């Protein structure tokens, strides 16, 4: 995984967001990004579905036909026999999409953005070891726990010795556990990077459209 390119790409998106929302400049943007990461992790778990022991439908929402188009394109009838055909934005013209992977790369967006906030370099992040767990449920729990600890340690960085270093360690564990989660969900890093760049493009378009 080319973390340098991913961080650079995320930095461009973060700056685009700042341009569209100038009130964010100069304020603490770490708290809401950490909360957003927790929310996206929950949405990813929801598409995985394995923790839903009360349900008979626990099949992960992996690669499936796109329900928003036909073979990657959408037809809009304009009247008088005219048809407007456009590439489907949901599946990017592929005709299929992968909800679980899409939520996973949403998490990656916020993980990278958090790294930029705390000024963790790609070289440092490359030292993070992939950490698998005994099962996927516990992998999600450990990931959420480490993300919470980042915020907890940074809160005390000015009054507690070692708190900042601890927050950096928590962040590296987030990366390692997140990489392990991707492997446990069956993703290759080629898939993850491709999906990340596709969603990054969509996120820029959303900023332009006032999403």
pLDDT per residue over 41-89, tens digit each? 999 999 999 999 999 999 999 987 766 666 657 666 656 666 656 766 6
Percent of the chain with pLDDT over 90: 65
Has residue 181 got a pLDDT over 90?
A: yes
**CA distance readout (Å), 53 to 9, 137, 170:** 38, 11, 30
Q: Among 72-86, 97-111, 134-148, 174-188, which stretch is predicted with the lowest mean pLDDT?
A: 72-86
What does the pLDDT look like over 143-172, one tens digit per residue? Answer: 999 999 999 888 877 667 778 889 999 999
Nearest to 173 by CA among 165, 116, 46, 157: 165
Structure tokens at 110: 């916020």
What is the spatial distance between Cα 131 and Cα 34, in angstroms, rounded to a whole number? 20
Residue that wins the pLDDT comparison between 21 and 159:
21
Has residue 101 got a pLDDT over 80?
A: yes
Helix (H, G, I), strand (E, B) or coil at 74: strand
Structure tokens at 2: 């080319």
Residue that wins the pLDDT comparison between 26 and 90:
26
What is the reported pLDDT for 88? 66
Residue that wins the pLDDT comparison between 76 and 34:
34
What is the reported pLDDT for 211? 78
Angle formed at CA 60 by CA 59 and CA 62, multiple of 5 degrees:
130
Distant-in-sequence, close-in-space partners of 157: CB < 8 Å, separation ≥ 6: 163, 164, 167
Structure tokens at 209: 């459209």
Contact, 131 vs 83, CB < 8 A? no
In this prediction the pTM is 0.85
What is the spatial distance between Cα 117 and Cα 18, in angstroms, rounded to a whole number? 13
> Based on the number of CB atoms within 10 Å of its own CB, is 158 exposed (0-12), middle (13-18) or buried (19 or more)?
exposed
Structure tokens at 204: 């820029």
Percent of the chain with pLDDT over 70: 86
Residue that wins the pLDDT comparison between 201 and 2:
201
Average pLDDT over residues 180-201: 96
What is the reported pLDDT for 158? 64
Sign of CA dihedral 159, 162, 165, 171: negative
Distant-in-sequence, close-in-space partners of 59: CB < 8 Å, separation ≥ 6: 49
Residue that wins the pLDDT comparison between 194 and 91:
194
Residue that wins the pLDDT comparison between 159 and 106:
106
């Amino acid at each position: 995984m080319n973390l340098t390119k991913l961080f650079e790409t995320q930095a461009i998106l973060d700056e685009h967001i700042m341009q569209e929302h100038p009130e964010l400049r100069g304020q603490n943007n770490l708290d809401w990004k950490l909360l957003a990461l927790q929310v996206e992790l929950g949405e990813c778990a929801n598409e995985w579905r394995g923790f839903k022991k009360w349900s008979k439908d626990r099949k992960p929402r992996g690669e499936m036909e796109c329900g928003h188009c036909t073979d990657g394109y959408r037809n809009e009838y304009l009247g008088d026999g005219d048809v407007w055909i456009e590439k489907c934005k949901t599946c990017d013209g592929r005709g299929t999409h992968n909800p679980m992977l899409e939520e996973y790369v949403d998490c990656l967006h916020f993980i990278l953005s958090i790294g930029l906030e705390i000024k963790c370099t790609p070289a440092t992040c490359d030292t993070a070891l992939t950490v698998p767990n005994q099962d996927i449920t516990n992998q999600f729990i450990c990931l959420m726990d480490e993300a919470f600890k980042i915020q907890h340690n940074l809160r005390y960085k000015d009054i507690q010795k070692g708190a900042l270093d601890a927050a950096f360690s928590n962040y590296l564990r987030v990366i390692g556990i997140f990489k392990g989660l991707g492997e446990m969900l069956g993703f290759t890093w080629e898939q993850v990077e491709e999906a990340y760049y596709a969603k990054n493009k969509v996120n820029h378009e959303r900023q332009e459209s006032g999403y």
